Amino acid sequence: MSGEIKRRGLMLVLSSPSGAGKTTLSRMLLASDGGITMSISATTRAKRPNEVEAQDYFFMTPQQFECSAVAGDFLEHAMVFEHRYGTPKTPVVEALRVGRDVLFDIDWQGTQQLKEKMRDDLVSIFVLPPSHDELERRLKTRAQDSAEVVAKRMAKAADESSHWPEYDYVIVNRDLRGAEAKVRAILEAERARRTRLIGVGEFVATLTK
């Protein structure tokens, strides 16, 4: 229809060292904003007791994952903590086309791949924990993984945190409400970015004719 401004969807990536609160932040954003949907990744890691197939992840065998990777079904894929993770391509491409935004909880390797392939659609945010002690506390209280896994993740957190310069925005998660407000502000601003808008010229023409 002439005179109507439409928009291509955007890809909002939240990355952080585990324990920075990114999963809770994602849930809050999804609950408060009807215009964004979560990208559900595929993984070869074992399902945790509270997780649901096709809701948290598509759980795959290494063979299934490899087949999908070879077939080009993933927008990006990477090895994280000894398991493979990948973003199914089709739902994302379709969402962006119809103007829906997609939220990604992926690591820095995946973000780099999306940046190479789809820079104009990508908005990336790096979430940091407020302190070393708080990060350790959060990783311990989560208690979904064994002590060995927690120790491994803590050791990796420093390495993961070093990737902050590769992101568009950095948020320190001191309190969830404050962090969510920042993510929402970024999302709103990015939705109005001129390069994402379709039909502005036609709309402006209707204003002045």
Pairing of strands 36-38, 11-15: unpaired
Question: How far is CA 155 from its chain centroid?
Answer: 22
Among 8, 24, 33, 45, binds ligand 5GP (CB under 6 A): 45
Among 19, 21, 86, 129, binds ligand 5GP (CB under 6 A): 86
Contacts for 42 with CB less than 8 Å, ≥ 6 apart: 57, 58, 59, 60, 65, 68, 74, 85, 86, 87, 88
CA angle 8, 11, 17 (to 5 degrees): 170
Q: Which is nearer to ligand 5GP, 109 or 199 (CB)?
A: 109
Please report whether residue 41 would count as binding ligand 5GP according to CB under 6 A: yes
Please report whether residue 96 would count as binding ligand 5GP according to CB under 6 A: no
Please state, as a whole number, how many other Cβ atoms lie within 10 Å of the Cβ of residue 147: 9
CB of 177 to ligand 5GP, least distance (A): 22
Q: Which is nearer to ligand 5GP, 76 or 101 (CB)?
A: 76
The H or E element that residue 118 is part of is: helix 108-118
CB of 78 to ligand 5GP, least distance (A): 4
Q: Which is nearer to ligand 5GP, 45 or 182 (CB)?
A: 45
Q: How would DSSP label each residue in 122-177? A: EEEEEEE-S-HHHHHHHHHHH-SS-HHHHHHHHHHHHHHHTTGGGSSEEEE-SSHH
**Whole-angstrom distance, CA of residue 54 vs CA of residue 40:** 7
CB of 106 to ligand 5GP, least distance (A): 4
Among 85, 96, 139, 173, binds ligand 5GP (CB under 6 A): 85
Q: Which is nearer to ligand 5GP, 149 or 181 (CB)?
A: 149
Q: Which residue's beta carbon is nearest to the bound ligand 5GP?
A: 110
Q: Which is nearer to ligand 5GP, 109 or 161 (CB)?
A: 109
- The Cβ-side half-sphere exposure at 4, using a 13 Å CA radius, reads 4
Q: Which of residues 5-34 bind ligand 5GP (CB under 6 A)?
A: 18
| Amino acid letter, residue 146 | S
Q: Which of residues 129-148 bind ligand 5GP (CB under 6 A)?
A: none
Question: What are the residues binding ligand 5GP (CB under 6 A)?
Answer: 18, 41, 45, 76, 78, 80-81, 85-87, 105-107, 109-110
